[in-house]
Structure 1
Amino acid sequence: MEEHFNSYKTDINLDFLWQYCINNGTIHIFKRGTIFQQLNMPSNHIGYIQTGCLKYTVHNDVDEKDYITGFAFSGEFVADYPNCLYGKTSKVQIESVTDSKVYIVDGDAVLRMLTESAERMLCGMKIMEGLFEQVYSNYIDLYSLDAHGRYERLMKRCPQIVQQLSLKDIASYLRLHPNTISKIRHNITFGKR
Structure 2
Amino acid sequence: MTYLCGMKPDEPHLLYSGLSPQATALLTEHARETAHPRKTLLLSEGERDEELLLVLEGSVRRYVMREERCVLLDFAFEGDAATVTLGSLPGGVSRHCIETMEPTRLLRIPRLRIDLLMAENAELADWGRRLCEERLRRYEAYFADYTWMDKGRQYERLLREYPQLLQRIALKDLASYLMLTPQSLSRIRAELR
TM-score (norm 2): 0.80
Q: Structure 1's 86 and 45: CA in aligned 2 closer, same or farther, altered over 3 A? A: farther
For the aligned residue pairs, the C-alpha RMSD in angstroms reads: 3.0
- Matching residue of 2:162: 158
1:188 to 180, 183, 192: 192
> Which runs of 5 or more residues in structure 2 are unaligned?
none
Secondary structure at 1:101 match in 2: strand
- Matching residue of 2:55: 49
Q: Which amino acid aligns with 2:39?
A: G
Q: How many Å separate the matches in 2 of 1:118 and 1:177?
A: 45
Q: How many Å separate the matches in 2 of 1:69 and 1:138?
A: 10
For these two proteins, the number of residue pairs brought into alignment is: 186
Q: How many Å separate the matches in 1 of 2:147 and 2:76?
A: 24
TM-score (norm 1): 0.80
Q: Deviations over 1:55-101 (max 9, x none)?
A: 101121xx321211111113333213335488621111101111212
Q: Which amino acid aligns with 1:106?
A: P
> Which runs of 5 or more residues in structure 1 are unaligned?
none
Q: Deviations over 1:6-46 (max 9, x none)?
A: 16979x93546766554432222212221211211221112
Q: Deviations over 1:150-193 (max 9, x none)?
A: 2123224421010111110110111111122222222222xxxx
1:70 paired to 2:71: no
1:131 to 128, 132, 135: 135
Contact 2:53 2:109 survives alignment (8 Å): yes
Identity within the alignment, %: 22
